[in-house]
Chain A
């Protein structure tokens, strides 16, 4: 008997209890005036881990104390690093070397292993990490 009464009450409700009541109240309020979206602030992408390699190979070409393997050392080390550094890192190289080439003395991508160049390479290496 009680259950029958309750069913009748529900059947007479013009809307369901719950969300319908609140939806009606909300829609009766004045609509907010549309606002311009906030200006988008450019977000810098997260900085990749930095990898800097300074490679110096001095063969002292043309001097009395010439060495043989130092430029090859740089080449070998560079090849190994290039194959091994994770692709997720921002890897850059700085090569200083001298080598007896077919048409004179060849040098590394960033020059010869002079004192000033080596110190500049050290500064470059640190700048990449500190930036």
Chain B
């Protein structure tokens, strides 16, 4: 599933939200829509109930949420930490810094061969693991906004542009490399948003691969 559109934070949140605020998708008819769980919007609690928990064992779901404040859009148990080890998809505030480059390479453009994997999983024990394989790629942290941009002379969401570039270049990259590539492309193009990957079940970020058919 792919969602591109506005995302907002709710004034309230379930006990698992580190920011204390639910993430919401904003449908077109947010002024009149009721039934998404919250105030005209579709809340992450509702998505968890209607989508995440309905995925049976053996099925794979990959959701991409190119929207603001969508780090914990599906309220999943595990999230991949930043390379810096600071913060999680759930939105602990902090300024992410790209890994320091070796001296002399500071001005060099991004090169996938130079990437340094250093990611771990964070566990949010409030959310139970899911039956099926559910993975979320979101455009930014809960505390950040995701950019609507013009790249390659095309209007596009920055995350969508970046992750499609990465998937075209590599159909099945291990999660940690995939996330690093997606982030590095955004950093190179001047975006400060930090895409997040979270998962319903434990995932070995070194061996599990992101494919368009889900987590492999």
Could you tell me which A residues sit within 8 Å of B by CB distance? Answer: 51, 53-60, 65, 67-74, 76-77, 80-81, 84-85, 98, 112-119, 121-123, 125-126, 129-130
Q: Which of A60, A72, A74, A85 contacts B28 (CB 8 A)?
A: A60
User: B78: CB under 8 A from chain A?
Assistant: no
User: Closest 4 A-B residue pairs measured CB to CB?
Assistant: A58-B5, A115-B33, A70-B4, A115-B27
In the complex, A21→B59 CA distance in Å?
60
Chain B minimum-CB-distance residue to A65: B6
User: B119: CB under 8 A from chain A?
Assistant: no
What are 18 A-to-B residue pairs whose CB atoms are below 8 Å? A56-B3, A57-B5, A58-B6, A58-B26, A68-B148, A69-B150, A69-B155, A73-B157, A81-B212, A98-B28, A112-B28, A113-B5, A115-B35, A118-B27, A119-B50, A123-B50, A126-B55, A129-B56
User: B156: CB under 8 A from chain A?
Assistant: yes
- Is B5 within 8 A of A56, CB to CB? yes
What chain A residues lie within 8 Å of B36 (beta carbons)?
115, 119
In the complex, A80→B161 CA distance in Å?
11
- Is A76 within 8 A of B164, CB to CB? yes
Could you tell me which B residues sit within 8 Å of A by CB distance? Answer: 1-6, 25-30, 33-36, 40-42, 47, 50-51, 54-56, 59, 64, 66, 148-150, 154-157, 160-161, 164, 167-168, 171, 212-213
Chain A minimum-CB-distance residue to B29: A114
In the complex, A98→B35 CA distance in Å?
21
Distance in Å: Cβ of A121 to nearest Cβ of chain B: 8
In the complex, A95→B45 CA distance in Å?
23
Q: Which of B2, B28, B33, B50 contacts A77 (CB 8 A)?
A: B2
Task: With A60-B28, A76-B156 given, name 10 new contacts (CB 8 A).
Answer: A51-B213, A56-B3, A56-B4, A67-B6, A72-B156, A113-B5, A115-B35, A119-B42, A121-B1, A122-B50
- Is A129 within 8 A of B59, CB to CB? yes
Indicate whether A70 sits within 8 Å of B157 (C-beta atoms), given known contacts A57-B4, A115-B35, A119-B50: yes
What chain B residues lie within 8 Å of A74 (beta carbons)?
2, 4
Distance in Å: Cβ of B69 to nearest Cβ of chain A: 14
Distance in Å: Cβ of A60 to nearest Cβ of chain B: 7
In the complex, A117→B6 CA distance in Å?
16
Q: Which of A69, A81, A115 contacts B4 (CB 8 A)?
A: A69
Indicate whether A58 sits within 8 Å of B4 (C-beta atoms), given known contacts A77-B160, A85-B212: yes
In the complex, A71→B167 CA distance in Å?
20
